[in-house]
Amino acid sequence: MNALDKSLLHPRYWLIWLAYALLRAILLLPYPWIQKLGLWLGYKLAPVIKGRRRVVEVNIGLCFPDIQGEEKTRLVDDIMANNILGFFETAYGWWGNDAVIKKHSKVEGLEHIHKAQQEGRGILLIGAHFTTLDLSGRVMTLREKADVTYRKQNNPLFNYLINHGRSRIFTHLIEKREMRKMIRGLRKGKMIWYATDQDFGRKNSVFAPFFDVPTATLTSISDLIRMTGAKPLFYSCNRVGKGKDTMYIGTVSDPFEDKFSDDNVANATLLNKALEDSLKQDPSQYMWVHRRFKTRPDPESPSFYAKK
């Protein structure tokens, strides 16, 4: 990890540094207290963060149309609270104690990774933006080494802090545009964690169904598999229980069964179906705060997220 650029100490960044210091101080508390604080704050803020709440409501309406009324309100509240708690879980993933995290976590399906390793194949561990995102990476790398891809942040201090935290978890950080690095790593038999479940526009994307909604889906996974022969596996991680009884359950599965082909739409459909099946188990622990359906097949179609 690069040394701290002194320009990041400029007064315009002091509020961010103050928030960072407060977050590090909170992590000195016992984990059950951290979780309780995160959820309390999340439920308090759930009705207040109206812009993001609106995005969540639209996404849930599109993906789970049968959930209505009070049930939908409760689910949206849970999603907002879990996303706030996710900030604390992210920080805990970066700086928490190895022994404590390992005690309160497990990974099921590691045999899929071991089988691919025995075959001498690189592993493309396809993740997603669960609220446990960075902590789930720590849960995995306490058992198996992995590189990770990331998207560069516009704010240079945010970029430094996030990458500094992730460098404590993963062997190497690879910016998402650095395809050559990913190709080299996969050809050498490395495992790379790659989450592509966001809307990056039309470029390098195809439209495939996600909860029956045509959704812009990146083709980079397909490209990497074609060029390297890597084994694609799916990785999810959910929080189960509360307080001292909390467990983070990572699950490695092989829903793809090496069925990726030259058909990018078919491949994108496989990817979206794997995530869809995972989210049906507990939709409250996913980052529905992102505008996943921002890009429409017809550019003239009205946005799902337009204010009514």
Per residue in 228-255, pLDDT (tens digit) is 999 999 999 999 998 899 999 999 999 9
Neighbours of 162 (CB within 10 A): 19
Three-state DSSP state, 47: coil
**Residues 182-208: b if buried by 16+ CB within 10 A, e if exposed:** bbebbeeebbbbbbbbbbbeeeebbbb
Work out whether the CA dihedral 276, 279, 285, 288 comes out positive or negative. Answer: positive
- Tens digits of residue pLDDT in 67-114: 999 999 999 999 999 999 999 999 999 999 999 999 999 999 999 999
pLDDT score at 308: 67
pLDDT score at 2: 66
Q: Are the beta carbons of 255 and 274 closer than 8 angstroms?
A: yes
- Tens digits of residue pLDDT in 34-50: 999 999 999 999 999 99
Q: Are the beta carbons of 104 and 150 closer than 8 angstroms?
A: no
User: How far are the Cα atoms of 86, 131, 293 from residue 136, in angstroms, in the given order?
Assistant: 11, 9, 25
Q: What is the rounded (10 degree) CA torsion for 208, 210, 216, 219?
A: -60
Residue 11 pLDDT > 80, yes or no?
Answer: yes
Token pair for 252 = 């490695």
